Amino acid sequence: MAPVVVPGLNIPMLTGPLVLGYMFGYGLYGMLVVQVYLYSELFPRERFGIRAVVWSLFFLETMFTFMTTISAWNQYGIGWGDIDSILFVDWSWDPLPALNGTIAAIAQTFYIWRIWSLSRRVWLPILIGCSMLTGVVMAFYFGIKVASQGGGIDILFALSPEITVWLAASAICDVLITISLVQIFIERKKGTDLPRTVRNLNQLIRFSVETGSVTSVMAMIELILWLTSGKKWNIHFIFFLTLGKTYSNMLIATLNSRARVFKDRNGESSVEPLTISLFWPDLGTGNTTTGSSRRTLNNTSRYTHSEVVIDPDHDIVAMDEFYPKSNHEQRRDGKAQYLES
């Protein structure tokens, strides 16, 4: 059967990217379900704020997937063969820009909060927050504007500057978050001589680069595709339909990275919270006991105020309250002490 030909339209390049976006979105949603399940099993007593972030993201992603399912059915089910399904945005797309912007804003705000917690620099979170707010405001404005004017493709092209600002702000925010986290960890690494702490910080640096680069690269690719071919093809929609789920997966994967799987004394595999809390000072070390004796080292370094917990059975080192120590605290604590727990 010969393909449908419409003068002036490259139908495969308009419909094909949407099909890929829907399929990739379902795959990422399945990964998200697994991540959320692992999170609920690993951290049942997590602090309320972090649990609220996780379950809010999962709820919004479920709504996003539900709306894209309706859109896919209306376009490729009951709308199959109807050229209007290509030239007009389906009603189920109306909430998608706002949902996408909200999901990105929640994930980015979480990292902005972590940057402030680690650095205590006010200007840095404000700078990153401005780009985040710009992106989410433009996402809401674009969604409301298209929905109120009938959802035609011509309206989409008329709002090209707003879309560009939205995508550029999101990409800039992701890049700033990645650079800031890496810089903070590098500064912390220079302030300590503990080999294991340095190794842990190197792992955090690599993890920040890996997770941050995924969303940053995807946001930049979406921006480039929109600027270069957005008015002819729909390739950029692949990233529009998957970027939000990538934010959610990366954030919850970061939370789940605080846990590790190892074998207990009976040889059975068990899951325990990872006792590295450089990036998660709110974790504490109370849930990491495995029945073995522990030694606590109060490190009174000039650069850090930290508590190092050593588990001799599993050779795990944890640090808590990783922040610069005042001169008064240094004089009060004196030399490092070993305490038997």
The pLDDT tens digits of the residues spanning 205-238 come to 777 777 788 889 999 999 999 888 877 788 999 9
Find the mean pLDDT for residues 273-297. Answer: 40
Query: Which pTM value belongs to this model?
Result: 0.74
Q: Considering only residues 332 and 183, tell me which one the structure prediction assigns the higher pLDDT.
A: 183
pLDDT higher than 80, residue 312: no
pLDDT higher than 80, residue 297: no
**C-alpha to C-alpha distance for 159 and 176, rounded to whole angstroms:** 26
SS3 of the chain: the string is CCCCCECCECHHHHHHHHHHHHHHHHHHHHHHHHHHHHHHHHCCCCCHHHHHHHHHHHHHHHHHHHHHHHHHHHHHCCCCCCCHHHHECCHHHCCHHHHHHHHHHHHHHHHHHHHHHHHCCCHHHHHHHHHHHHHHHHHHHHHHHHHHCCCEHHHHHHCHHHHHHHHHHHHHHHHHHHHHHHHHHHHHHHCCCCHHHHHHHHHHHHHHHHHHHHHHHHHHHHHHHHHHHCCCCCCHHHHHHHHHHHHHHHHHHHHHCCEEEEECCCCCEEEEECCCCCCCCCCCCHHHCCCCCCEEEEECCCCCEEEEEEECCCCEEEEEEEECCCHHHHHHHCCCEEEEC
Q: Tell me which residue of 169, 241, 181, 238 sits closest to 211, measured CA to CA.
A: 181
pLDDT higher than 80, residue 1: no
Range ranked top by mean pLDDT from 38-47, 299-308, 319-328: 38-47
**C-alpha to C-alpha distance for 131 and 136, rounded to whole angstroms:** 9
The CA-to-CA distance between both ends of the chain, in Å, stands at: 77
Mean pLDDT, the chain, rounded, equals 75
Distances 103 to 60, 99, 175, 245, 331 between C-alpha atoms, Å: 7, 6, 17, 8, 46
Range ranked top by mean pLDDT from 71-80, 241-250, 260-269: 241-250
* Confidence at residue 58, expressed as pLDDT on a 0 to 100 scale: 97
pLDDT higher than 70, residue 329: no
* Confidence at residue 51, expressed as pLDDT on a 0 to 100 scale: 94
- Confidence class of residue 3 from pLDDT cuts 50, 70 and 90? low
- Confidence class of residue 296 from pLDDT cuts 50, 70 and 90? very low
Query: Are 298 and 329 contacting, i.e. CB atoms less than 8 angstroms apart?
Result: no
Six token digits for residue 331: 């004089």
Give backbone dihedrals phi and psi of 304, rounded to 5 degrees, phi first. -135, 150
Lowest average pLDDT, out of 18-22, 133-137, 241-245, 306-310, goes to 306-310
Q: Tell me which residue of 252, 314, 267, 307 sits closest to 288, measured CA to CA.
A: 314
In order of start, what are the domains of the chain with their CATH numbers? 11-257 (1.20.1070), 265-340 (no CATH)
